[in-house]
Chains A and B, each alone.
Chain A
């Protein structure tokens, strides 16, 4: 492949504090060498989201998936403990488990019939007498990932021991995972039925897109129109984006749609309005009024660096990014739903969530169109002698970084935070032009001005009850 990287020494991220511009060199999306650097500097060195523990409800359940390019078996052993093994026979490297999921106490390699228990121990090596009797067998157990830890049901792994505890890595992102669990008294679980699809775009375009409130109205014009017709007006006021540290980021949205069983809107129907009020009363009791307000009344798009996106919107969708090549990303998406749920609400939830997110929805295909159109479009400036042309601009709202102001969701501050983290991870500092502002603490997420949804829904129900009684 043609060398698409900029000239040697090209700065990947340039921030000009006099002009208030922020630019990312487009080789970041298309260069093979940088992609290889990302593998070693990011994917082999940090916590990665592997899957949700409820994907494996029973002992002996397993699924296989690639993570950072490595084939893995994610399983529960016979005792119920979670493991992540390299899906590669320790003998000669054959893919050990060739099923995509199932239930098994043993994994047998078809090539020479070496057999392993689902806790990794060797169960059988055929004709073992030909091997030295010096503990050889004990060295041939399944190879585990270096680290595996779980937080609120989300299972993360690392391919190196040299990572902080998961909770420390998650930092300020952790509470948003806790809020998800708190939505329903019985907790949440992942449904089977994974949206498995690929996009012809770099993985970082998918991250940018999720943290980009600026694109919502133009890109999702038809979806915004659909919402308006159902009686919901999209509103970008009072919506903010936050950098949470360690590359994680968050959009807090209050004007993009209701939240099933928590925040009613007309397209959910009248029966759901009553059920929502009932559920909100239960949340009020269980969590207290302030916490219930935070958990229920704000939608979140959370990015946990580098491969987990959580869309906590009308419903909840988990999206995992798996880079395959600079211009190719595999995506997996699951629906996370309350363990206990009225069948009518479940039906509404599935229709509503699938209608928006996923490669067959009314919105995500336009996002995919955007990643793919960028990936094709940035070939135009590759290698141009006018080197300044081969940069993408993410300056929007940069002035807020000189003050203590929060960045709006329609600015590009969450993207800038992501790129600063990324460029350091691959071994460069952002290039400063002009005088950088003194270091400041990132603004901490603040509650929105949105009124308490329980008051709102009771007022709505009350108004109708009054009309009926009149």
Chain B
């Protein structure tokens, strides 16, 4: 088989992407952070922009989360520690992913958007976080991997108690 440059390495279906996102959601709800980190390409980033300017890049805007690979690894290490007080005991999270849409695929890179709802319970209260994923994935023969994992909140602000101590 010949592969022309820039052509998809292989066809990715929406159901494959959905399965990937559902599996990721389960890993996070189960706090299996090492397994979750293995879903990333080394060097990947994780971003959560602020609610008031969700479309500006991090160089010109404040962010809630703006992790390069080192910070992402540090975040995972922190979440696994007993000393991450904001997540010890861990928040109980429950994730729903829907409205999955595949964007352009250029070579082995695929863009996708999806909607999320995360319910988080802790300290006798529940917070709902709703928004949209704007991810970039690397398509490999072995599966899909995050190049950029970006969660964009559809909120005016984070209500009282609704911090981002967990992975959104």
- Residue pair B53, A350 in contact (C-beta under 8 Å): no
In the assembled complex, the CB of B62 is this many whole angstroms from the nearest CB of chain A, namely: 3
Partner of A347, one of B59, B86, B156: B59
Q: A198-B161, A369-B85, A372-B123 are in contact. Are A354 and B78 (CB under 8 A)?
A: no
Assembled-state Cα–Cα distance A329/B165 (Å) = 18
With a CB–CB cut-off of 8 A, which chain B residues contact A324?
Answer: 160
The A-contacting residues of B in range 43-91, CB under 8 angstroms, are 48-53, 56, 58-68, 70-71, 74-75, 77-78, 81, 83-87
Is B21 at the interface (CB under 8 A from chain A)? no
Assembled-state Cα–Cα distance A111/B83 (Å) = 53
The A-contacting residues of B in range 13-41, CB under 8 angstroms, are none
Interface centre among A219, A221, A361, A368 (most CB of B within 10 A): A361
Q: A359-B64, A360-B64 are in contact. Are A194 and B86 (CB under 8 A)?
A: no
Whose C-beta in chain A lies nearest to the C-beta of B51?
A196
Q: A222-B81, A347-B58, A369-B85 are in contact. Are A358 and B64 (CB under 8 A)?
A: yes
- Residue pair A366, B86 in contact (C-beta under 8 Å): yes
- Residue pair A360, B62 in contact (C-beta under 8 Å): no
Is A9 at the interface (CB under 8 A from chain B)? no
With a CB–CB cut-off of 8 A, which chain A residues contact B59?
Answer: 343, 346-347, 350
Q: A197-B158, A362-B74, A369-B85 are in contact. Are A192 and B64 (CB under 8 A)?
A: no
In the assembled complex, the CB of A3 is this many whole angstroms from the nearest CB of chain B, namely: 22
In the assembled complex, the CB of B101 is this many whole angstroms from the nearest CB of chain A, namely: 25
Partner of B61, one of A191, A219, A222, A366: A191
Is A333 at the interface (CB under 8 A from chain B)? yes
Is A355 at the interface (CB under 8 A from chain B)? yes
Is A328 at the interface (CB under 8 A from chain B)? yes
With a CB–CB cut-off of 8 A, which chain B residues contact A329?
Answer: 160
- Residue pair B62, A198 in contact (C-beta under 8 Å): no
Range class of the A interface residue count: 35 or more
The B-contacting residues of A in range 208-238, CB under 8 angstroms, are 219, 221-223, 225-226, 229-230
Q: A198-B161, A199-B160 are in contact. Are A376 and B48 (CB under 8 A)?
A: no
Q: A351-B68, A354-B65 are in contact. Are A362 and B48 (CB under 8 A)?
A: no
- Residue pair B60, A198 in contact (C-beta under 8 Å): no
Partner of B52, one of A194, A223, A230: A194
Tell me how many residues of B have a C-beta within 8 Å of chain A.
Answer: 43
Partner of B163, one of A192, A334, A365: A365
- Residue pair A196, B50 in contact (C-beta under 8 Å): yes
Whose C-beta in chain A lies nearest to the C-beta of B78?
A222
Q: A196-B50, A369-B86, A376-B123 are in contact. Are A359 and B163 (CB under 8 A)?
A: yes
With a CB–CB cut-off of 8 A, which chain B residues contact A364?
Answer: 163
Is B159 at the interface (CB under 8 A from chain A)? yes
Q: A196-B52, A196-B157, A376-B123 are in contact. Are A365 and B63 (CB under 8 A)?
A: no
- Residue pair B86, A360 in contact (C-beta under 8 Å): no
With a CB–CB cut-off of 8 A, which chain B residues contact A225?
Answer: 81, 83
- Residue pair B67, A191 in contact (C-beta under 8 Å): no
Partner of A192, one of B61, B66, B75: B61
- Residue pair B157, A197 in contact (C-beta under 8 Å): yes
Is A193 at the interface (CB under 8 A from chain B)? yes
Assembled-state Cα–Cα distance A223/B162 (Å) = 21
With a CB–CB cut-off of 8 A, which chain A residues contact B75?
Answer: 362
Is A100 at the interface (CB under 8 A from chain B)? yes
Q: Name 6 extra pairs, CB < 8 A, besides A197-B163, A198-B161.
A: A192-B61, A193-B62, A198-B158, A222-B83, A225-B81, A350-B66
- A positions within 8 Å CB-CB of B: 100-101, 191-200, 219, 221-223, 225-226, 229-230, 267, 324, 328-330, 333-335, 343, 346-347, 350-351, 354-355, 358-362, 364-366, 368-370, 372, 376
**9 examples of A-B residue contacts, CB within 8 angstroms:** A191-B60, A193-B62, A198-B161, A226-B74, A347-B59, A355-B67, A365-B163, A365-B165, A368-B163
